[in-house]
Amino acid sequence: MQVHDYDVVIVGAGGAGMRAAIESGQRARTAVLTKIYPTRSHTGAAQGGMCAALANVEEDNWEWHTFDTIKGGDYLVDQDAAEVMAKEAIDAVLDLEKMGLPFNRTPEGKIDQRRFGGHTRDHGKAPVRRACYAADRTGHMILQTLYQNCVKHGVEFYNEFYVLDVIINEVDGKKVVAGVVSYELATGEIHVFRSKAVVFATGGFGKMFKTTSNAHTLTGDGLAVTYKRGIPLEDMEFFQFHPTGLAGLGILLSEAARGEGGILRNADGERFMERYAPTIKDLAPRDIVARSMANEVREGRGAGPNKDYVLLDLTHLEPAHIDAKLPDITEFARTYLGVEPYTEPVPVFPTAHYGMGGIPTTVAGEVLADNDTIVPGLYAAGECACVSVHGSNRLGTNSLLDINVFGKRAGINAAEFAKTAEQQEVADDAADMVIDMVETMRNSKGTELVGDIRAELQEIMDANVQVFRTDETLREAIDVIGKLRERYNNIGIHDRGMRYNLDLLEAIELGFLLQLAEAVAVAALHRKESRGGHFREDFPDRDDENFMHHTMTYLDPNSTAEGISGMRLETKPVIVTRYEPMERKY
């Protein structure tokens, strides 16, 4: 076992992690631990843009952006956080420009902007061009730009280090962070990183679903390891299903296609979003568009031999315009479906995309042990965190903004904390739990296979916890997940080696997914209303009287939540500053 000492340790090297590292690395001795090489992080898959009220091509301001974020999140957004994000969005974009990001430009040389779902002018009156973009590979450009600047500032990276535990001490009855425990893929060695501050930026957990835009690595590691150490998870029931995944595959086609004029049509050729969102049509928030698409299919208006998808029509756009603005996503259609977007509509259907819930934080990025208590030295940012700037439904392009605004804040605040904090003592046995877990798994002789259990988990999540949910489907999912967790105890792997043992790590990641899937389903069962990405067919209306609150899910061996032992559900008030909840029309 090796021991390292740093002021700040950042877990994850996607957009949020590297944005934090750029700030922290200039203020304190910082290490970034990442399970994959930084430029392979999932931020690189983000396509459409990063929004900010620059007003470069149309009148716009940060207050309209704040309102759209709150309304888009179906009023479960913490409004102080939305104000921070919208105000700081402009500097966040300009920071990236100064770092060298090659944004698309207007003829006058300004950063160009385009429309995206749910972004409007004058509090909902008409769509507005707010998304700053680099063709349809904006996330890729952000990731490369941030990595180049991390190298410029001498940030230390530990690549292919899997963080499997966070060291949290109890001091005067309160949790205080002391470091992390990591597994090095190249050697199989365990490393303890002692640090005064830890920033989690580990991304999402979409691989609990079968049809997903998420990469194989998105298994919720950061959420799972903090959850096991007593940190709650906030709003786990809210998962976003992006409307335009390639049918049958889940590979994402950016909302930018609709921002550039793409139209969703059913088998009859009807532009059906005119019925569901008459004002902004195909550019309604993602939860509304995804449900509308699924409803068209359920009511028999789906396209294809099995009538199980709808069509994204780009054929009315000039090929030169498509090539200039949407080069990657049109190539995806050709490569994966054999469809020529110039002349044929593209088959699409909703795909699991983004978790609105996660590790609860303040607007400073500080992790909360409960509704009021900050864990000194522990921070989180990006998709693994829940500052609740997205509420129950994230607007497109707010994710790339979120990672830059709150990644920057977490990095600055972690480094400033480390300047005056004392290094907490790290016990000699701090890594024992991880060592035992790794050795037990590596030497397991069980008969259950990782792939079988993961496939069954993904099947039940797709079938029962996707766009439409009911009490019956959720209880069935919870029952199946419980049985899968029992089978997981009898898991076996084939690779007994120490080096590059991905068999071992996929088994550990499966354990994380099972635990988080249960948290999602139990929180969804508890929320007996429909709001944003959570739609209960047995409770189709939003219920502000009983459910205008965040759901906080705790691991607690002495409690039972919705009939599931070992879990406790509590609530947390939504912060309302300027915008009272109102009917959500588009």
Q: Which residues are annotated as a binding site?
A: 12-17, 34-49, 221, 242, 254, 353, 383, 394, 399-400
Query: Is 301 annotated as catalytic?
Result: no
| Residues 333 and 254 sit within 8 Å (Cβ to Cβ) | no
| Residues 406 and 16 sit within 8 Å (Cβ to Cβ) | yes
Residue 569 to residues 63, 251, 473, 480, 546, Cα–Cα distance (Å): 34, 34, 20, 21, 15
DSSP string, 64-96: HHHHHHHHHTTT-S-HHHHHHHHHHHHHHHHHH
Rounded CA separation 583/585 (Å): 6
Residue among 403, 397, 401, 412 at smallest CA distance from 381? 403
Which tokens hold the place of 31? 């290490």
Rounded CA separation 299/571 (Å): 36
Rounded CA separation 135/155 (Å): 29
Residue among 154, 251, 221 at smallest CA distance from 11? 221
Which residue, chain included where needed, has tokens 């843009």? 49
Rounded CA separation 311/387 (Å): 35
Please report, in range form, the residues annotated as the binding site for substrate: 242, 254, 353, 394
State the chain's maximal CA–CA distance in angstroms: 68
Please report, in range form, the residues annotated as the binding site for FAD: 12-17, 34-49, 221, 383, 399-400
* Active-site choice (258, 286, 291, 542): 286
Rounded CA separation 554/571 (Å): 11
Rounded CA separation 298/237 (Å): 23
| Residues 395 and 79 sit within 8 Å (Cβ to Cβ) | no
Q: Hey, CA dihedral for 402, 404, 407, 410, is it positive or negative?
A: negative
DSSP 311: E
Which tokens hold the place of 165? 């535990």
DSSP string, 507-550: HHHHHHHHHHHHHHHHHHHH--S-BTTB-BTTB-S--HHHH-EE
Q: Which residues lie across from 352 on neighbouring strands?
A: 212, 241
Residue 230: count other Cβ atoms within 10 Å of its Cβ: 15
Which residue, chain included where needed, has tokens 């050795």? 439
Please give the positions annotated as active site.
Answer: 286
